[in-house]
Amino acid sequence: MANTSKTNSSKSSEKDPCWKGYEQVGMKTKDGNKVPNCVPESKSSSKKKS
């Protein structure tokens, strides 16, 4: 049953890869892999306005 909970959490991460209070503003390279670039919502919203 532990695998079931892991599967559910991975599905939610596909939908929104960032933590609560953060949002994705693109992709970045980390250790040769592309990963989501998550920033706090307050910082990203100020970038969208300008």
Note whether 41 and 21 are within 8 A (CB): yes
Residue 11 has pLDDT above 50, yes or no: no
Number of folded domains that form the chain: 1
Q: What confidence category does residue 31 fall into, taking pLDDT thresholds of 50, 70 and 90?
A: very high
Higher pLDDT, 30 or 47: 30
CA distances from 7 to 1, 11, 12, 14, 35 (A): 10, 6, 9, 11, 20
Residue 23 lies in a domain: yes
26 vs 13 pLDDT, higher one = 26
Of the chain, the percentage scoring pLDDT greater than 70 comes to 56
Beta strands in the chain (DSSP E): 22-30, 33-40
Confidence band, pLDDT 50/70/90 cuts, at residue 23: very high
Which residues form the domain of 39?
A: 16-45
pLDDT at 49 over 70: no
29 in a structural domain: yes
Helix, strand, coil share of the chain (percent; to 5): 45, 35, 20
